[in-house]
Amino acid sequence: MNSRGVVLFVTIWILAILIAFALGMGFRMSIDTRLTDYNVRLLKLLYLTKGAVARLGVELAKDESADCDSLNESWSNSEEFFKDVAFGNESFTINYIRKTENSEKIFYGAMDEQSRININRAPKEILLNLPSVTDEISDSILDWRDEDDIPHADGAESAYYLSLDFPYSCKNGPLQTAEELLLVKGVTPEIFNNIKDLITVYGDGKVNLNTADSRVMQALGLSEIVIQKILKYRAGDDGEEGTDDDNAFNNIANLTEALDLSAAEASEIGNLNSVFLLGSASSNFRVCVTAKTKNGKILKRTDAILFRSDKNNEIKSWYEY
């Protein structure tokens, strides 16, 4: 090969390398541009989510009945305020699924967190009513949340947990999240999944009978006849909860009068009320937000616990996924 051929060959290789480099840089810049756009959209969705939670707080502030919170109030079920609310090219929805004995219904709004049983306050007899909870588990929960190191009959204190392959100490204090139960002796992921929708760590321990579902009321120890009377009264004439004709209890005394309970049935309510396990209002609400872009390709989901007070709403928990 003569010198001209060598020069041409080298020139072609240099041009090929430069073209490949240029294409690579262009591809890299394209990826960076798309990543930047994606992150900008995610940031927009984050602030949209925060705005959605604030919007829910506005509806809570409108509620003037401090002694009563029920399923037909705007914070609990309003498609107008909480379904596919658009802001520019993004939108948000706040909703949750409410289970009944035979079906499921989507509510657009916040879930009353105090429609659940407070795992930090419930006595052993109620813990045992939760699905799959045994004497071992109930005693271990009591040991986990009490302040001493004396185990209950079937429970466990630090001596047990420190003997595990991956040791840790017993909490000896209230649970901060429901998921903390997975650290308690005997609680498997399967058992936790069976009870997670029935329990909470928020509130004063009183279950709001205006919003509790039948499974929670069963765990409280109420008989089926009392549960059905409560559900029928709450649902109103149309037999469907979360609608305008719903009825609500202003207090537990009002409940026993409205339901025309027998002496035995009234005693079920009275016994629970005597140990401060029943209520008619709430301060903690679970806000499940889905924010998305117009084409629905980018989603951001957030679960927050919002505490309502006379002064300012306070976010107790915030989880993004």
pTM above 0.75, yes or no: yes
Token couple for 152: 């209950």
Task: Identify whether 277 is part of a domain.
Answer: yes
What pLDDT is attached to residue 27?
A: 56
Q: What angle do CA 316, 317, 321 make, to 5 degrees?
A: 160
Domain assignment of residue 242, yes or no: yes
Distance CA 81, CA 77 (A): 9
Distance of CA 211 to the CA centre of its chain: 15
pLDDT at residue 150 greater than cutoff 60: yes
Radius of gyration from C-alpha coordinates of the chain: 28
Residue 164 covered by a domain: no
- Can you tell me the mean pLDDT for 215-227? 96
Q: What is the mean pLDDT of residues 174-183?
A: 97
What is the model's pLDDT at position 166?
Answer: 95
Residue 18 clears pLDDT 80, i.e. is over it? no
State the pLDDT at residue 89.
Answer: 87
* DSSP structure class, residue 214: H
Ramachandran angles phi, psi of 153, nearest 5°: -50, -45
pLDDT of 52-63, one tens digit each? 999 999 999 888
Report pLDDT digits (tens) over 1-16. Answer: 566 666 666 666 666 6
> Which phi and psi angles does 95 have, rounded to 5°?
-155, 170
Cα dihedral across residues 8, 9, 12, 17: positive or negative: negative
User: pLDDT exceeding 90 applies to what percent of the chain?
Assistant: 72
Mean pLDDT confidence for 204-226: 96
Residue 187 forms part of a structural domain: no
pLDDT per residue over 248-284, tens digit each?
Answer: 999 888 888 889 899 999 999 999 999 999 999 999 9
Average pLDDT for the chain: 90
Average pLDDT over residues 54-80: 91
For the stretch 270-321, pLDDT in tens is 999 999 999 999 999 999 999 998 887 778 899 999 999 877 889 999 999 8
Q: Domain for residue 177, yes or no? A: no
The mean-pLDDT minimum among 28-42, 183-197, 231-245 falls in 28-42
What's the pLDDT band for 68 if we cut at 50, 70, 90?
A: very high
For the chain, how many structural domains are there in total? Answer: 1
pLDDT of residue 312: 81
Comparing 88 with 31, the larger pLDDT belongs to: 88
Greatest pairwise CA separation for the chain in angstroms: 114
42: domain range?
1-119+201-321
* DSSP at 47: H
**pLDDT surpassing 80 at residue 231:** yes
Q: Does residue 80 lie within any of the structural domains? A: yes
Whole-number Å distance between alpha carbons of 222 and 209: 11
CA distances in angstroms from 304 to 47, 175, 233, listed in the order given: 14, 17, 30
Phi, psi dihedrals of residue 134, rounded to the nearest 5°: -105, 180
In a domain, 191, yes or no: no
**Phi then psi dihedrals of residue 288, to 5 deg:** -105, 110
Q: Is 178 a member of any domain?
A: no
